[in-house]
């Protein structure tokens, strides 16, 4: 991703389709020896999940009993107990039975001492609560009856209530419990959800996402006395069987998000294009078809724009195509006939800016310039993991944008797979060059119903939207509206920005069909206009995730540098509109 002051998308370089092989020689041999993976780096791509078991609320023993019992009725060590409370000491019926009059009186007394009122995402933490079996009682606030509140807890008038964020609640609880916690959660909120099974599934999803950490390169992991191991959670719900069925899908989505995060968090000396492609092969175990195109295959296809970006690096470029045929028609029909829905991701594994080199400050963050590709991989894992009834294609372009003797230069002209020529004004606007060939390849070969691409494309999208929304550009209103709705439902919010002929003229070139940047103004829009020239009329949406895919602010469900943004959003889009 390019700094906002550079006013370009996320880098660029493309000068023809020369092979990297000529520049390698002894230098490449030394590099190949350094490619040796650090122990555990690739193997930990998919983070070990926490253990969550579901039991009936009615099976939980009354906590005023003298001897602690496990929720499943077997004698065991005392566990942390988590319950939920609304305003004015509102508890669910099952919670009142659980804690009894003695527990309620204890909570009221402790709450008065610390002025705890049950505001949403606040907690009252009691260690060794008198008269209760649990060794620790955590009372989590859920707020009022859907009132919108400001930061001081005052109810806002004439503001429609927002849907309750059960994933955020789960993340908050996990944050209070800590890593490797052993706890029983009585999921009995004072305000019952319309769909209790989905609410519980979202809650567990939030717990799994919050529990994630990326620390396998740290050699000292327990200096603060943190407990080792994985969390062991018992979630007590009204209908355990229904929650178990739905939670399987939620666990698959969580695994996809965590895979995307880990890919973004990996250092670039470990996760270069070839290694990235190798890791995607793990999806075959889930039934995903995976095809890797090397430079020779891409050269034969005429992908001059993509190959040009990577020609300054000793690392070879790759395109990876993934296909999940979840529908019966897709499995039974000839592989060239079924029309999938398609997702395309930019995968610049490291972006120096090329000859138009970036400033040193902050360049280390450019290991995350492949967040779009990471999202597509995570999405394909999630869909396959939950056996989604849909036919989906994922395609990612993997390159390194490096300066070097063979690197493309400002002023070079490259020929894309579409046949259109591109004048490279700035080699740090490379992401669109990678996507140009990918988009054309996908629409031409697979004839998808629509394409959504994701890319950490422009630094200026942060100037416009900050880190609260990703930028959305589309040539199809229905697709755009569905994406926005999915973003609201998952909290991965989008904001639509315009496209138009006046913006398109800004990327016209005097020496080629187009140039790769449009000047000082409307940088994110002209980048999207550039991409639109390669979709050939296919319904299409572009998500600029430069502000949300990496380095995003910490939240209740993510404390990691890499966010995995887009996996939940696109999974929800598919679940709501495209599964049969």
Q: What are phi and psi of 40, to 5 degrees?
A: 85, -5
DSSP calls for 202-247: HHHHHHHHHH----TT-S---TT-PPPS--EEEEEES-HHHHHHHH
Q: Annotate 382-410 with b (16+ C-beta within 10 A) or e (fewer).
A: bbbbbebebbbbbbbbbbbbbbbebbbeb
What letter would DSSP give residue 261? H
> Residues 101-110: contacts with CB within 8 Å, 24+ apart?
102/64, 102/131, 102/132, 103/63, 103/64, 103/129, 103/131, 103/132, 103/137, 106/130, 106/131, 106/132, 107/137, 107/139
Q: Which two tokens stand for residue 237?
A: 């719900």
Name residue 52's beta-bridge partners: 233
Q: Which of 117, 261, 325, 432 is catalytic?
A: 432
What letter does residue 364 receive in the DSSP assignment? Answer: G
Annotated catalytic residue within 13, 358, 482, 515: 358
Chain-centroid distance, C-alpha 566: 5
Q: Which of 480, 458, 482, 460 is nearest to 544 (CA)?
A: 458
What CA–CA distances, in Å, run from 416 to 63, 397, 420, 453, 508? 68, 14, 6, 18, 15
Query: Cβ distance 3 to 421 under 8 Å?
Result: no
Residue 487 burial by Cβ neighbours in a 10 Å radius (0-12, 13-18, 19+): buried
Report the C-alpha gap between 312 and 399 in whole angstroms: 10
Q: Report how far residue 528's alpha carbon sits from residue 132's, in angstroms, rounded to the nearest whole number.
A: 60
Pairing of strands 136-141, 123-127: antiparallel
Place of tokens 């690392």: 315
Angle between helices 196-211 and 166-177 (to 10 degrees): 40
Residue 205 makes CB contacts below 8 A (sequence gap 6+) with 167, 170, 250, 251, 253, 254
Structure tokens at 238: 């009204």
The Cα-based distances of 413 to 409, 421, 422 in angstroms read 9, 7, 5
List phi, psi (to 5°) of 446. -110, -10
Helix count and strand count (H, E) for the chain: 16, 17
Which residue in 396, 316, 401 sits closest to 366, CA to CA?
401
432 belongs to the catalytic site: yes
Cα separation, 119 vs 262, in Å, equals: 33
Mind telling me the catalytic residues?
A: 358, 432
């Amino acid at each position: 991703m390019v700094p906002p002051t550079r006013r370009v998308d996320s880098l660029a370089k493309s000068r023809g389709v020369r092979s990297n092989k000529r520049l390698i020689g002894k230098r490449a041999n030394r590099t190949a020896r350094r490619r040796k993976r650090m122990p555990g780096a690739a193997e930990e791509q998919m983070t070990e999940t926490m253990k969550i078991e579901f039991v009936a609320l009615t099976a939980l023993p009354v906590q005023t009993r003298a001897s602690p019992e496990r929720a499943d009725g077997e004698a065991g060590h005392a566990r942390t107990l988590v319950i939920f409370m609304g305003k004015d000491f509102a508890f669910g019926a099952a919670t009142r039975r659980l804690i009894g009059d003695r527990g309620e009186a204890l909570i009221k007394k402790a709450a008065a001492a610390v002025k705890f009122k049950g505001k949403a995402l606040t907690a009252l933490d009691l260690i060794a609560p008198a008269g209760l079996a649990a060794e620790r009682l955590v009372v989590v606030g859920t707020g009022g009856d859907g009132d919108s509140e400001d930061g001081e807890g005052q109810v806002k008038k004439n503001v429609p209530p927002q849907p309750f964020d059960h994933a955020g609640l789960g993340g908050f609880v996990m944050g209070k419990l800590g890593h490797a916690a052993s706890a029983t959660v009585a999921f009995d909120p004072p305000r019952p959800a319309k769909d209790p099974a989905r609410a519980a599934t979202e809650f567990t999803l939030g717990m799994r996402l919050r529990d994630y950490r990326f620390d396998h390169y740290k050699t000292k992991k327990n200096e603060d006395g943190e407990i080792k191991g994985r969390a062991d959670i018992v979630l007590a719900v009204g209908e355990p069987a229904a929650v178990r069925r739905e939670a399987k899908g939620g666990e698959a989505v969580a695994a996809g998000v965590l895979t995307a995060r880990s890919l973004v968090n990996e250092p670039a000396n470990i996760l270069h294009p070839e290694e990235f492609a190798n890791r995607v092969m793990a999806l075959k175990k889930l039934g995903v078809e995976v095809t890797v195109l090397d430079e020779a295959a891409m050269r034969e296809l005429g992908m001059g724009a993509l190959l040009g970006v990577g020609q300054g690096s000793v690392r070879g470029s790759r395109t990876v195509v993934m296909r999940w045929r979840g529908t019966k028609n897709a499995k039974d029909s000839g592989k060239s006939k079924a029309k999938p829905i398609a997702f395309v991701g930019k995968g610049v594994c490291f972006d120096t800016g090329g000859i138009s080199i970036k400033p040193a400050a902050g360049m280390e963050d450019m290991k995350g310039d492949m967040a779009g590709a990471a999202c597509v991989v995570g999405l394909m894992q999630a869909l396959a993991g939950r056996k989604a009834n849909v036919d989906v294609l994922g395609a990612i372009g993997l390159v390194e944008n490096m300066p070097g003797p063979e690197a493309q230069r400002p002023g070079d002209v490259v020929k894309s797979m579409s046949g259109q020529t591109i004048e490279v004004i700035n080699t740090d606007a490379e992401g669109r060059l990678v996507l140009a060939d990918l988009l054309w390849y996908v629409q031409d070969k697979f004839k998808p119903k629509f394409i959504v691409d994701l890319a950490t494309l422009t630094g200026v999208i942060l100037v416009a939207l900050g880190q609260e929304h990703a930028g959305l550009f589309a040539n199809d209103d229905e697709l755009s509206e569905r994406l926005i709705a999915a973003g609201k439902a998952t909290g991965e919010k989008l904001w639509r920005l315009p496209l138009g002929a006046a913006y398109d003229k800004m990327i016209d070139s005097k020496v080629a069909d187009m140039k790769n940047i449009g000047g000082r103004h409307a940088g994110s829009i002209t980048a999207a206009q550039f991409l639109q020239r390669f979709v050939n009329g296919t319904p299409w949406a572009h998500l600029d995730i430069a502000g949300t895919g990496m380095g995003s602010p910490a939240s209740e469900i993510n404390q990691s540098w890499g966010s995995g943004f887009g996996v939940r959003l696109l999974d929800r889009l598919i679940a709501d509109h495209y599964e049969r």
